[in-house]
Structures are given as C-alpha cells and as structure tokens.
Chain A
Amino acid sequence: MKHNIKKLGILVIGLLVVLIFYLSYLNVVRGTALAANPYNRRLQAYENQIYRGAIYDYNGVVLAETSLAGEKNKRVYPRGRSTAHLIGYISEKYGRAGLESVCDRYLLGLEGTDRVRNYFHKLLGREQLGGDVTLTIDAGLQGLALEMLEGRRGAVVLLDPSTGAVRVLVSNPSYDPNKLAEIWPQLTQDKDTPLINRATQGAYPPGSIFKIVTAAAALTVHPATATATFDCPGFLEVDGYRLDDTAAHGRIDIKKAIAVSCNTTFAQLGLNLGAQDFARMVKAFGIDQDPGMGIPVRPGTMASPKEMIPTELASSAIGQGEVLVSPLHMALTAAAIANNGDLMRPYLVQTVEDSHGRVLQQAGCRQWLKVTTPQICGIIKDGMTEAVRSGTATAARVANVQVAGKTGSAQNPHGQTHAWFIGFAPAEEPRLAVAVLVENAGAGGVAAAPIAGRLLAAAVNKGY
C-alpha cells in the first residue's frame, strides 16, 4: 500500500506542477495580449494613471497625443477626420478601435522596460509614461486623399510595393474623433455607415480591375496566351446567355485587351482556365486573407469553385458575379504586379519607442506571398502602361512619370457603377501602388483615375 500511496502522491504533486507551468504560460506568454485586450476594463483605468504615448506619421507629424486638460488627460487627434478610421479612438463609453487599440500595449507602457519602469513610477507615486508609435502613413497625402473623396463615399489606399509600407489609408464618409461623445448617436444611425473603414472592411465587386488577376492566371496556366490573339465581336455567348461588351475590339493581343479592358477576351480566358485554376490565382494574390496589419480587414469572397457554373465563372473573370473585395486587397494586387510578383506584407507601424526613446520594434519589410513570375508581371505591366497612355485610364497620367493602371466600373445593385482604379508608378521602377474606389460614381476612368493621378503626382513630388 505504501507503494501506491507514493505513486498517488507523485501524481497529485505532478498535477500541481503542471498547474504552475500552465499559470506561467498564461501569465508570461499570453499576459500582455490579455492585459491589452480591448475588453479589459483595466485599460481605461490605466488610462487615467498614465500619460499615454503619441502616434506620429512617417515624418513626425502628430496624429494622436494626450494633452492635459484640467484634471483629466484628454486624447487629441490633430488630423481629425482624415485619420479617423486608421487611428481609431479610445473611449470609456464606446470602447477602443483602430491603431489606438492595436498599439495599446505600447502606448500604455505595458511592454518592454516600460513595464518595469512604470511599476516603480507607480510605487513611488510618480507619473507613468507610455511609449510612442511612428506610422508609415503620410499625413499630408492622407489629407489630400480625403479631400478628393469629399462629398462621395469611397476609399483610397497607397502603399510602397517594394516594402509593403502603407502611405495612405482613407475612408469616406469620415467623422471627427475629437467629438466622438457628441456625434456617436448619429454615427451609429447614419445609413452611410461612417464608422466602417471602407478601405479594409468594404466589400465591393471589383469590376474590370479584376482582369489583372484573370490575366495572371491565364498567363500562368497557358503560357501561349502571351503571344495569342483574340477576336472580339463585341459580345460573348455563354450557355445561351449573351454577355455584352462595351465595344467590338476586333483582333487584339493580351496587352491590348488589358489596355482597352475587353470583357469578351477576359470572360473567354476565364472559361478556358476553369474555376479551380482561377480560384487558385485569386488565393495566390492573398485576396482571401487578412494580411495581418492589426486593424480589422474583411477578406475577399467569391463563389466556391465547385459550384461555379460557366456564367458565374465568366462574370467572375471580369470582376462581377459574386466576387467581393476591399480596396486594400486591390491595392495589394497592383503592388504584386508592380513588385514583379513578390507581394510584400503590408504594414502600418514603422517604429515603436518606449518612453525613454529606446526602439522596441522596428518594421522590417518581409515578403508575404510569391504571386507570379516577373515575366508575367512584365506583360501585364505593359498592358497597364498602355491603358494609361492611350486606353481607358488616361485620366491617371502624371507629368514626367509613367503611370501604369487599370480602371473598373463595377455593376452593383445600389445604382450607378462603382468607379475603381488600381495602378502603380513609376511603371519602370514602381515605388507607389494605389487603389481608388468611389461608390456609385460611374466610370472608373472618369471618377477614380483622376484621384489616383493627383495622389500619385503629389506622392512623387514628396519624394516617395
């Protein structure tokens, strides 16, 4: 019996040891994430004890800071409406959103040496300090983008395709986060949903800009597509349905088909591909994924390839049907082509410093996905360059810089077509990739391309 008792004792003590290990795991590995969980009511309590860190743009412009207003600390957003969706807010009543929530653990000094330092500050009754966050965003371009969207619903995303650094992420209608308490009831009831970040959470049919994906798929699966010519009589019949084109484009090659945005050619390419290969390329561009920038992103969706009947496949190949994407994903699609098929992981936070200015985290550019080959990108680039030179996207032209682009006018159940433009510049060595969406604004070449052109021009002038 003594033997059994010994074994039993080892079991009970062993289980308690496991408990200590589990507690350590919970505390050390998951601790900071739990501490910074937006549902953790302690965050608000810390808020009142700590001098929360600031958020800066790429050039050091203040985007969010804490100012002393009487007894209580007040959070101020100098750029107001233009950074509302991106920066988010912190509110005792309405919770936490955007990068304010994502970067909570740094801004509240819960990370690195700040955690220890603030512990002692607290013990000694001194003020506790949070760390600062510097973004990749350019506040000036951000403001310009919102200005150009004024009065319309839409979104703009601008990023560096060679690194993944996001320069602009704007959604309109916006709101003034400095007046959250007064405007909250209107915000939640407004049918234009100003609280939604359209740039990342929007779900729109992409229309013709999706032809970039179809072209990449066709060139990958059937390399002969590069040299083939297509005949466009101005319509295509699929299973007895007639798919009308904007014009009879005659005999054209793939580059020309991109430049003039020929529906017939791309619907036919989609049908030749089959649903599986088409869906594989959509995945290769990461359209069905959240790239992990911290802020909420709606992954793109489309009909399941198994259930895709020919008419649905033909429509999906030209960005209609059940395909729904966000402007961010389309900017990344342009970025993938611009960067020769290597899609870099997009990021918003450049550096994180603790309260003493020591760098805690420095963004490094990392490849996210290997989408396609440089050869295929070269062909698509030529087509997109041609589209800006003489095709559908001439309104995106920028003086002295060659822009490559693709327009889209996506049919939708809410009225006029959504105007889209995606592209990059300079075409030879791209440093900027852009996506512009304007809801129900008509043709992409008229409503979206000029916005992209002005934004790219401004960005080039700023040296990006």
Chain B
Amino acid sequence: MSGVRYAIPRARDKEPAGGRTVERNLLFLAVLYLMMGMITLYLDESVAPTVLAVVAGLIVAVAFLLVHAYWKASSFRGDRYLLPITAIIISTGLVFLFRLDPYYGLRQFIWILLGLGALVFTSRLLLNFRFLSDYKYTYALFGLIALILPIFFGKVQGGAKSWLDFHFFQLQPSEFVKILLVLFLAGYLAENRAILTAGTRNLKGISLPRPLEWVPLVTMWGISLLLLVFQRDLGAALIYFGAFLAMIYAATARVAYVLSGLGLFAAGAYTSYFLFDHVRVRVLIWLNPWPYIDDIGYQITQSLFAIGSGGIFGTGLGQGYPHYIPLVHSDFIFAAICEELGLLGGAGIIILFMILVYRGIKIALRARGDFSALLAIGLTSLLGLQVLIIIAGVTKMLPLTGITLPYVSYGGSSLVANFILLGLLLNISHEANDRL
C-alpha cells in the first residue's frame, strides 16, 4: 500500500467481507478533523488555551484507530461506515466541549474512552445477539425497575427527575432503558408479528381488537406517560413512544396501529397540557418566547440569537459567544455549533446523522430474520428521532424537550448508551455480511 489513497471508496462491494480499508481511510480523515479542531483551540488565545485538549484529542484518535485495528484483526464484518461517521460527530462534540469548558471536555474525553470500551465489548460479547430475544421479559422488567428508581431516589436536573446520583457520577437510566425497550419490542414483535398482522377478529360484524394487540400499545403509552408525569422527562417520553410506533409500523404495516397510537399520544399530550404546568410552559414559549425573554423564554431566545448570529459560515471556532446560552454544553450544544461553524456546520452535523440513519436502514434491510431487522430499524429510529427532537427543539421548530444530541452533548450515560446502540447495529450487519 503506497502512494495517495482516497478515502472515498469506489468499489466497496468488491472489498472482501473482512476488509476494513474504507473504515481506516475515513478514520484518518476523522482524526485529521479532530486534531485540527484541537490545535485551533490550543493556538487561540481567547479560549482558555490548554495543551490537554491536544493530548486528549490524540488519545481519542488513537483509541478509535485501535478499535478499528482490533476489528480488522478479529475479522469483524460489521458495517464499515458507522465508526468513522460516529468519530466525526464525536470529534465535533469533544472539540466544542473543550472550547466551552475544559472541565466538561475532560470528563467527556473519559466517557468517550469508556464508550469505545463498551463498543468493543458489545461487538465481542453480544456478537451473537440473538440470544437476547429469549430473555425479553426479563430485561423488560429490569428496564421498568430502572425507570422507576429515579422517581424515588432520583435527582432533579434541568427540570427532569431522571437522574441517579452515584456520588462520582450520575446515571440517567432512561438512556439505557431505551435500548432495552427496543430489544424487548424487537423480540415481542418478531414473535407475534403474524398474529398482529392478521388483524382483528370479527364479532357479529363488529371488529374487536384482541388483548394481544392492544395490551402492548397501552403499556407503552403508560410507560411514556410515566416518564412524562413522574420524571418530567418530555424528551424521553417522546422518543420512546416514537420508536415504538416506528417498530410497530415496520413489523405490521398496519396504519390503524400507528393512527390509534398517535391518537393516544395526542390525548395524553392534550391532557397533560392542562394538568401540568411544565408542559404548558414548554408550549407557551414554543409558540412565542419573546414576551418571556427575561425568564422562561430566555434559553430558547438565546439559542435563536446564537444561530442567527452565526450566519452561513459561522464566526469561526472560539470566536462566538455561546456562553450566553444556559446549558450550552448539553442540550444546546447544537446552537453553539451553529454560531461558530455556521449554517454549513449545523447542516453538516445533520447530514452526518442522516448518513448514520441511512446506514442503519441499509442494515435493517439486509438483516437476517425478523428480530434482527426489527432491532436494527428500532435502534435507527431511536437515533434519528432523538436527533430530530433535540435539534427541532433548540431551533424552535418543535417545543423544547430536554434531551441530549447523541454523541455530541456532554453526558456519560447518553454517550455509553449510544455506543452500545452502535455496537448492536454493527453486530446485526456482521451477521448479515456472513453470507457474502
């Protein structure tokens, strides 16, 4: 291998199943991108200059390449685009966290390493992920307990009571439970798909749904409401329910399910609008935040100012004023990216996620068996919906719901959970690539 090598593959299908050259080349680009960001930060006097950022960048770069090397050595056949694309998205997040606050940058750096560890473990231990479908009720119960725990022992943060405090770090169970949920649904739907698709039975001309059909729907609705009411976690409730509807549609193609699901959701949303102040406030500042610019509308208007001030090209890394936005390191990091990297940077991030979703769908289409396909589409919808909801929230396209931007926002639970999600997608594609 010598001479110039192009990262863009010309004939990926001709590459042998075990070959991961494309992944390596794309990773080199990601590393270049990451190091440029870190060095820019280091050279900029206006941002707290710290050589730590460069060192952290180098270590993350090496860690990504090591994961690649390990997979290559172990003839892992998982999708070759997922890791490099995720690496670019994560690099953007890490650079911005160091730029916003090195404290969060350093912590995120450690979480990325732990996350990559989780990714390797997932690709190793769960390689034959199919056994998971056998224990679906076990971890459905486990997930439910994990969801309920914060209600009693939880800590309120950012208005949501969805955190468990372990002194050294805090854990947000809902981030992990979302994966358990998709696993459970994939197992359940794969098993009952035939009955569910067959439709309703007729009782003297009146079609009545059987318990098997409506019980999961109502249960899911209940879990979403549980999140909404007791944890005040609107974002998680929305993602859970959205992923559930997506999976049920994929499994059964029955629009009636989706419609009645949406109807239930609308009813729940409508009722909670009248019952809960925090829901009402969110809607109020979504419709018109300007009269409340000094208090409840402050955050979203500051986010809009940041996005508007960035322009098409942005102010340049380190040249904007993202600190005017409260919580900029977590939910609002996208606004900071738009301010400093401009519309092009913001759209770039969305396009990267689009490619990720595209690969996820490809994997689902090529997956072997219903369980794998449903798992893949479930995980992909989860990711896509989360990106959609938080970015639409900080741009005021939808009401704001406090959730993280996957791989970008600061947050250990979110990062590790999303690495596990990535690992599962890779395992599904590994299985599918087997037949090549």
* Partner-B contacts on A (CB < 8 A): 1-6, 8-9, 12-13, 15-17, 19-20, 22-24, 26-28, 30-35, 37, 39-42, 45, 115, 119, 122-123
Contacts and interface: CB of A to CB of B under 8 A. Distances in A.
B411 interface: no
A19 B343 contact: no
Contact of B250 (A1, A28, A31, A119): A1
Interface string B177-216: 0000000000000000100000000000000000000000
A16 B355 CA distance: 11
B90 interface: no
A32 B388 CA distance: 25
B395 A23 contact: yes
B357 A40 contact: no
A2 B365 contact: yes
Nearest to A31: B308
B392 interface: yes
Contacts of B263: none
Contacts of B350: 16, 19-20, 23
B103 interface: no
A372 B377 CA distance: 67
Nearest to B250: A4
Contacts of A24: 343, 347
A8 B387 contact: no
Contacts of B56: none
B29 to A, nearest CB: 22
Given A5-B250, A37-B305, A39-B293, 6 more contacts: A4-B250, A4-B251, A12-B357, A23-B343, A27-B310, A27-B346
Ranked nearest first, the 6 interchain pairs of A and B with the lowest CB-CB distance are A34-B308, A9-B361, A12-B384, A27-B343, A40-B305, A35-B309
A244 to B, nearest CB: 46
A108 to B, nearest CB: 11
Nearest to A17: B354
B155 to A, nearest CB: 31
A34 B251 contact: no
Contact of A5 (B311, B342, B346, B364): B364
Interface string B43-71: 00000000000000000000000000000
Contacts of A35: 305, 308-309, 311
Given A5-B377, A35-B305, A16 B347 contact: no
Given A3-B253, A45-B321, A19 B388 contact: yes
Given A19-B388, A23-B395, A42-B324, A1 B309 contact: no
B428 interface: no
A22 B347 CA distance: 10
A123 B316 contact: yes
Nearest to A14: B354
B312 A1 contact: no
Contact of A34 (B307, B313, B320, B364): B307
B95 interface: no
Contacts of B321: 41-42, 45
Contacts of B287: none
Nearest to B310: A27
Contact of A28 (B343, B380, B387, B391): B343
A193 B357 CA distance: 60
Interface in B308-362: 308-313, 315-316, 319-321, 324, 338, 342-343, 346-347, 350-351, 353-354, 357-358, 361
12 contacts: A4-B250, A5-B377, A8-B377, A13-B358, A16-B353, A16-B384, A24-B347, A27-B311, A28-B312, A35-B311, A37-B308, A39-B293
B54 to A, nearest CB: 22
Contacts of B364: 5, 9
Contact of B397 (A22, A32, A40, A119): A22
B146 interface: no
B304 interface: yes
Contacts of B250: 1, 4-5, 8
A34 B304 contact: yes
B385 interface: yes
Contacts of A119: 313
A27 B307 contact: yes
Interface of B: 193, 246, 249-251, 253, 293, 301, 304-305, 307-313, 315-316, 319-321, 324, 338, 342-343, 346-347, 350-351, 353-354, 357-358, 361, 364-365, 370, 373-374, 377, 380-381, 384-385, 387-388, 391-392, 395-397
Given A23-B395, A34-B305, A119-B313, A8 B354 contact: no
Q: Which of A1, A6, A16, A34 has the most CB of B within 10 A?
A: A1
A34 B309 CA distance: 7
Nearest to B254: A4
A41 B302 CA distance: 9
A8 B388 contact: no
Contacts of B346: 23, 27
Contacts of A19: 350, 388, 391-392, 395, 397
Q: Counting chain B CB atoms within 10 Å of each CB, which of A4, A28, A39 scores highest?
A: A4
Nearest to A24: B343
Contacts of B395: 19, 22-23, 26
Contacts of A41: 305, 321, 324
B319 A122 contact: yes
A115 B310 CA distance: 11
Nearest to B361: A9
Contact of A8 (B193, B246, B320): B246
Contact of B381 (A3, A12, A42, A123): A12
Contacts of B319: 122
Nearest to A3: B253
A40 B322 CA distance: 12
A271 B342 CA distance: 62
Contact of B387 (A1, A16, A115): A16
A42 B305 contact: yes
B15 to A, nearest CB: 24
B365 A5 contact: yes
A40 B309 contact: yes
A9 B373 CA distance: 13
A279 B236 CA distance: 54
B148 to A, nearest CB: 30
A27 B308 contact: yes
A5 to B, nearest CB: 5
Contacts of A13: 354, 357-358, 361, 384
Nearest to B366: A2
Contacts of A27: 307-308, 310-312, 338, 342-343, 346
A26 B304 contact: yes
A11 to B, nearest CB: 8
B357 A16 contact: yes
A9 B357 contact: yes
B267 to A, nearest CB: 23
A31 B249 contact: no
A2 B373 CA distance: 8
A15 B374 CA distance: 20
A48 B304 CA distance: 22
A5 B193 CA distance: 14
Contacts of A31: 307-311
